[in-house]
Amino acid sequence: MRIIAGTLRGRRLNPPTTLPVRPTTDMARESLFNILNNYVDYEECSVLDLFAGTGAVSLEFISRGAKDVTSIDINAQCTDFIKSTAKQFNVNNIHVVRSDVFELIKRAYKKFDIIFADPPYALENLQQLPDLIFEHDMLSEDGIFVLEHPREYQFEQHPHFWQHRNYGKVNFTFFAQKLDEENNQ
């Protein structure tokens, strides 16, 4: 697993095999960022990475110049790994929090420009995540929420649905706070 672009490009992440994660593949991550590159000025972005796992997505945002990134995971091994990797890479604009994502959403106090969520595919409440993000007003006005999920889930009827992309077993559904002609191109 490696950082694909930006200031940390080529740096390798070597998570312990004991981490209970299913990391987003390099190919899927590269495709995700190729889409976001067309809509996002990373240097102005505040990012929330839910179910952060290895922190690869968080670090990819930082490598591309994100203003700040908050990485959330309930597993102490995951949060410890992200913290140690950030220290190793000399990254100081990442805030790592060990927390249950659903509890954190309930106490949301800050808006983010980008929210990325890669929950366990067997997560019972996965379908509810988009509603919770919008109910708790967690996105900035021009914010984008990206949900990684298995193919069984369909979100096209969601009022904030923007687009869907499929990369093998990896599916990304994009939701936007403000849907307009510019976003729908």
- The full set of domains in the chain, from first to last, is 26-176 (3.40.50.150)
Indicate the pLDDT class of residue 167, thresholds 50, 70 and 90: confident
User: Counting beta carbons within 10 angstroms of the beta carbon of residue 107, is it exposed (0 to 12), middle (13 to 18) or buried (19 or more)?
Assistant: exposed
Q: Model's pTM, two decimal places?
A: 0.93
The pLDDT tens digits for 99-143 are: 999 999 999 889 999 999 999 888 888 999 999 999 999 999 999
Percentage of the residues of the chain whose pLDDT score is greater than 70: 96
Percentage of the residues of the chain whose pLDDT score is greater than 90: 75
**What's the CA gap between 173 and 167, in Å, rounded?**
11
Over 80: is that where the pLDDT of 184 sits? no
**Integer angstrom CA distances of residue 172 from 40, 55, 75, 136:** 16, 17, 23, 21
